[in-house]
Amino acid sequence: MFGAIKHLIPQPHGYMDSDQRYNVGLTWIDQEGLTDFHNLQIQYVRNNERLAIENGEPQPDGSWAYKETNGTVHTMSAERVNAFMAKTQEHATIMCSMLDKINAASGETLDATASVV
């Protein structure tokens, strides 16, 4: 009796593969032993560009990469690095202009490296 409906009852599975993807799903086995495999793969991915540029190293292609002790690699592409550097330079230029105006208005020189208390 059970053999007649066995092909209607799926076999569940759940495991993590070698690429660190979670796999969950069901497999049906028909009366001839052929399988109908249904699987959902989920992979957690984290990429922190700040970690890449603050803790990482420049790569030959112009990108930056940092590898955590657990093996997670954080990267920032060469295009993103160039855009970040251009924006940082723009902000630094604006800041220098602001300091020059403050110095001119007050008649004294402000130390841009001093910390605010």
> Residue 13 and residue 2: Cα distance in Å, rounded?
21
| pLDDT given for residue 42 in this prediction | 95
> What's the predicted TM-score (pTM) here?
0.59
As a whole number, mean pLDDT of residues 35-45 equals: 93
| pLDDT given for residue 20 in this prediction | 83
Which secondary-structure segment (H or E) carries 41? strand 35-42
- Contact between 37 and 12 under an 8 Å Cβ cutoff? The reply is no
116 has a pLDDT exceeding 80: no
